[in-house]
Amino acid sequence: MADAADDTAREAWITGIGIVSCLGEGPEAHWAALNTSPPKPDTATYPPYIIHKLPPLGFDKQIPKKGDQRQMEAWQRIGTYAAGLALDSAGLKGKAEMLGRTDMIVAAGGGERDIAADTAILAGLPAAAQPEAFLNERLMNDLRPTLFLSQLSNLLAGNISIVHGVTGSSRTFMGEESAGVDAIRIAVARIGAGQSDIALVGGSHNSERQDLLMLYEFGGFALKDKFSPVWQREAHPGFALAAMGAFLVIESRAHADARGAKRIARLSAVLSDRCRRQPGDVTAGLRRLWGKISSRLQPGKVAVISGASGTAPATAEERVFLAEHQDIAVRATGTYVGHAFEPQFPMNVALAAIAVSRGNLYPPDAGRTGGRASDARPADPGRGDIGGSLARRRAGPGRSALKESLRCRPTMTARGAQSSSSPDLASSRRSAPARMTTGRT
């Protein structure tokens, strides 16, 4: 998608960031961790599998009612918490009139299962005299009444609406990484078209799910036995499941300025594509998408934030593309935060926006990033005019590629911004389209 509108009043700007991951809570904690030594991934919870867990969170800060917390599964609590952080960041918390006009677009997977009930049923079924009757009885008696509701992907949006009072239009997309891309793409398109002034956009994921580990292990995609950086997983490819919540407040420039909001970074374009996943398709798709945005970028002031997951063959095909751009600095966030599917794109857009607002890119760590040549060249064109394209790409198990680009022009930023440049964030995604499951417009 090209720039949403020529009219600067309809530019889409990020004005709020709410993120939680293994690196901590909020932009400051993430920036500090990326500039020092991020915590090591968890290898003890589900050995031999490797996951990235959240640090302890005080859910009461964003979900004050214990009853609300109890009826949510972990992924919903994570998402509702991150959404509250984004609303706080944007200065919207508690402003009922504004929240009543705030649209919501959520990227969500299916709900979590009751592992204890599943295990008991599977253990007892072979010995049951009447298996069908046993199964019906156990399902009726063992499953919590709210379990089916927790399986619904749109329950995250519902809980955010209940807890935080966000009552504008609501849309929920399913489709793993592509759901996160489409959530942001639709928000930018609606703002550019004048159909929306402000939107809360994002998703969440819980890494402590044995059912997901089982499913991904069936495909040979789960990282196990030994942790290594994303770029060093050729011998044992796979991704480390991540617990993550990432929400952004995106609004038109005119709306942000009218309420005195700090503009953090401009989302200038969101591109989407898909492939048949044949050998070389990922590389070809990245070249095609890069051609659509490369003319927007300032030579020598470009960086890439990659969402490569470490799975084969997509990660290797991405490296082929990146090798053609040795002058571009690369950071692979999957090494630090793991892979979380639906919220991965919103998280990387958030990290890109944080880098722009600070006028710098976090430094490389050859031991964690894989020591790729462009990883070792940090992009630091200066706080006054950081240009660059931050690209994030999903290199998942047989799935397709994803990029985000970020560029800055030497003009003044929004009120209160930390850099004297005007950041533009362009995103590009190559994947199957997401599926919208619910919505009220």
pLDDT tens digits, residue range 324-383? 998 898 999 999 999 999 999 999 999 999 999 998 898 886 444 444 433 433 333 322
- What is the per-residue pLDDT across 388-416, written as a single tens digit (0 to 9) for each? 233 333 333 333 222 333 333 222 222 22
CATH number of the CATH domain containing 339: 3.40.47.10
Q: Domain for residue 402, yes or no? A: yes
How sure is the predictor about 202, in pLDDT bands with cuts at 50, 70 and 90?
Answer: very high
Strands 244-252 and 198-205: antiparallel
How sure is the predictor about 172, in pLDDT bands with cuts at 50, 70 and 90?
Answer: very high
Spatial contact of 237 and 225, defined as CB atoms under 8 Å apart: no
Spatial contact of 256 and 263, defined as CB atoms under 8 Å apart: yes
Is the per-residue pLDDT at 282 higher than 80?
yes
What value does the mean pLDDT take over residues 139-159?
76
Q: Domain for residue 383, yes or no? A: yes
- What is the per-residue pLDDT across 80-121, written as a single tens digit (0 to 9) for each? 999 999 999 999 999 999 999 999 999 998 777 778 888 889
| 403: nearest Cα among 328, 337, 300 | 328
| 83: nearest Cα among 10, 167, 164 | 164
pLDDT at 118: 84
pLDDT at 38: 81
Instruction: Quickly list H helices, 263-313.
Output: 281-293
Q: Domain for residue 124, yes or no? A: no
Q: Domain for residue 310, yes or no? A: yes
> What's the domain count of the chain?
1
What value does the mean pLDDT take over residues 128-153?
80
Q: Domain for residue 121, yes or no? A: no
Q: Domain for residue 120, yes or no? A: no
